[in-house]
Structure formats: C-alpha cells, structure tokens
C-alpha cells in the first residue's frame, strides 16, 4: 500500500500566531510537517485542545476587532467627506 504524506501547506499570515499558541498550550515545537510520526502526531489532552481553541478564538476576535475599528474610521471619514444628500446612500 502506498504511503500518503500530509502536504506542507506553506506559510500563511496567521501561522506564526497559531504556532505560538501550540507551543504555549500543547508544548508542540512546530506545526510544520516533519515527516516523522513521533513529530507529526502528538497526544494531547482535551483541556489542552480546549485551551488552544479558546486562544485561537480570542486571537481572531482581537484581530477582527482591530480591523473593524480601522474600517469604522474609514467609513466615518468617507461620511464626513460626502455632502448631506450622498450620505444617505450608506
């Protein structure tokens, strides 16, 4: 039977944050595929998984809030630029 290897998906912008969470909560050195079972498969507790899920959720929520605040400032600036008749389009 042929061996199926899990592909390395490359580096995504949020990978550093996820890797930090994995290091802190699950004591996993890296999230990169290393093609060794002892490194690529780990045992972890359900409370560890819960801690990772909560930390990832909070990181995403904080990032979304930050981006939302930036968007809100842009919308307010655009509304201030428009005259009264155009402002009602938003």
Mean pLDDT by runs of 10 across the 90 residues of the chain is 51 76 91 87 93 91 77 70 58
3, 11, 43, 67, 75 from 78: Cα distances, Å: 56, 35, 52, 17, 5
Write phi, then psi, for 42 (nearest 5 degrees). -125, 150
Would you say residue 26 lies in a domain? yes
pLDDT for the residue 85: 53
Would you say residue 7 lies in a domain? no
Would you say residue 21 lies in a domain? yes
Would you say residue 9 lies in a domain? no
Would you say residue 1 lies in a domain? no
Token pair 């402002």 is found at 87
**Which range marks the domain in which residue 51 is found?**
15-83
pLDDT for the residue 4: 47
Would you say residue 49 lies in a domain? yes
Number of domains in the chain: 1
Would you say residue 66 lies in a domain? yes
pLDDT for the residue 86: 53
**What is the reported pTM?**
0.58
């Amino acid at each position: 039977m042929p061996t199926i290897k899990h592909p390395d998906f490359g580096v995504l912008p949020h990978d550093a944050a996820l890797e930090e969470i994995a290091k802190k909560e699950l004591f996993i050195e890296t999230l990169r595929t290393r093609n060794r079972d002892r490194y690529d498969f780990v045992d972890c507790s359900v409370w560890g998984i819960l801690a990772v899920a909560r930390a990832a959720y909070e990181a995403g929520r904080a990032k979304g809030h930050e981006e939302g605040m930036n968007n809100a400032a842009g919308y307010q600036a655009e509304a201030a630029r428009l005259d009264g008749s155009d402002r009602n389009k938003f």
